[in-house]
């Protein structure tokens, strides 16, 4: 049997120095910075993996089906399509109204003396987000209206007269 030698505890000076360093690190928020850095690094890693996946993805991996095939796959009929088209159009108009309200709010802030950088950035972010949601719902409505899945979102945005 081997005998284990008891480990010597660090001396008082070493313990005091370690405690001081830990207290200093917590006072400047170093552990929180490390945690935030790890989180940001993980997010950047995930974004890089997504970009690599998109670059290596081939068009052969995407589903190519007609509108009728999609209807058959989901078990939809004309009544369902009309109901969904109304829902999509209403959602599109609701998001458009929200975008107009955010734009009016930005205009009101610009006229008043309360315009701050935070309020400006918040209103611009709201305008972009609600505009994107409105365009997305309108795209889905136009897909049902035209009964076509051949055109992608970017091509639909660039084509005149599709709205």
Check if the beta carbon of residue 149 is closer than 8 Å to that of residue 66.
Answer: yes
Domain boundaries, the chain: 12-60, 67-158
Nearest to 71 by CA among 84, 87, 90: 84
DSSP secondary structure letters along 99-150? HHHHHHHHHHHHHSS---HHHHHHHHHHHHHHHHHHHHHHHHHHHHHHT---
pLDDT score of 127: 95
pLDDT score of 59: 66
Check if the beta carbon of residue 127 is closer than 8 Å to that of residue 103.
Answer: yes
Highest mean pLDDT: which range of 19-28, 57-66, 81-90, 111-120:
81-90
The residues near 136 (Cβ < 8 Å, ≥ 6 apart) are: 153
Cβ–Cβ contacts within 10 Å for residue 136, how many? 15
pLDDT(42) > 60: yes
Mean pLDDT to the nearest integer, 38-62: 82
pLDDT score of 62: 67
pLDDT(1) > 60: no
For residue 6, give both structure tokens.
């008891």
Answer with the residue of higher pLDDT: 125 or 117: 125
Whole-structure pTM value: 0.59
* Model pLDDT for residues 44-55, shown as the tens digit of each residue: 999 888 888 877
Provide the mean pLDDT of the chain: 84
């Amino acid at each position: 049997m081997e005998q284990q030698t008891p480990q010597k505890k660090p001396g008082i000076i070493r313990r005091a120095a370690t405690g001081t360093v830990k207290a200093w690190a917590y006072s400047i928020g170093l552990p929180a910075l490390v945690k935030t850095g790890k989180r940001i690094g993980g997010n950047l890693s995930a974004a890089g993996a997504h970009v690599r996946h998109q670059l290596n993805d081939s068009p052969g991996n995407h589903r190519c089906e007609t509108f009728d095939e999609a209807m058959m796959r989901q078990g939809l009929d004309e009544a369902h399509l009309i109901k969904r088209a109304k829902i999509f159009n209403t959602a599109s108009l609701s998001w458009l109204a929200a975008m107009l309200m955010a734009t009016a709010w930005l205009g009101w802030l610009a006229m008043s003396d309360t315009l701050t950088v935070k309020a400006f950035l918040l209103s611009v972010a709201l305008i972009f987000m609600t505009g994107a949601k409105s365009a997305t719902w309108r795209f889905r409505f136009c897909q049902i209206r035209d009964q076509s899945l051949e055109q992608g979102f970017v091509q639909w945005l660039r084509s005149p007269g599709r709205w």
